[in-house]
Amino acid sequence: MLNLIGTYECKADVKGRVMVPAPLKKQLLPVMENGFVIKRAVFQPCLEMYPMQEWDALMAKMGELNRFNRKNNDFIRRFTAGVKMVELDSTGRLLIPKDLLSFAGIDKELVISSAINIVEIWDKDRYEQAIDDAASDFADLAEEVMGKKDDGDGIS
């Protein structure tokens, strides 16, 4: 499994091209030749970029959903809305489609942040606001999500 590390501040040019930072590009080398999928995030106003093998694994799980269940069908449609395949060009730039730039509110300054096996792409101001907003309750969230509980949930 891919385990990406790092948060990087970057700039997009007028065409939406972003130079992927060298340390991240080095981490992505093993999966780069297969390309990536970029999409709208579900919970945040940012983009998510999946290496193709991660996307294929996710799609295999979603493929098991019963499409005759209206909620499943609606979820699949909304989850995959605006999905695009992207690649890094020969100079290491990523071209982010205009509609996705618009969704994420990215104009020029952005943040590329690792999220375990995918990459999040944020407008810089929105990223900083999301981090600031979460700072006050992060300890409680960490305890709830990662803390050991009597019922066996969480990581010990």
* Residue pLDDT, tens place only, 123-134: 999 999 998 887
Question: What's 58's domain CATH number?
Answer: 3.40.1550.20
Q: Is residue 69 part of a domain?
A: yes
Residue 16 CA neighbour count, 13 Å, CB half: 15
pLDDT tens digits, 15-26: 999 999 999 999
92 sits in the region (left: phi over 0; alpha: psi -120 to 50; else beta) called left
Q: Is residue 133 part of a domain?
A: no
Is the distance from CB of 48 to CB of 39 less than 8 angstroms?
Answer: yes
**What does the block give as tokens for 78?**
């909304």
pLDDT tens digits, 34-63: 999 999 999 999 999 999 999 999 999 999
Domain that holds residue 14: 7-125
Q: Is residue 142 part of a domain?
A: no
Looking at this protein, which amino acid is placed at residue 151?
A: D
Q: Is residue 47 part of a domain?
A: yes
**What does the block give as tokens for 103?**
């969704």
Q: Is residue 153 part of a domain?
A: no
Strands (E), 1-156: 7-11, 17-19, 36-40, 47-51, 84-86, 93-95, 109-115, 118-123
Q: Is residue 147 part of a domain?
A: no
| Maximum separation of any 2 CA atoms in the chain, in Å | 53
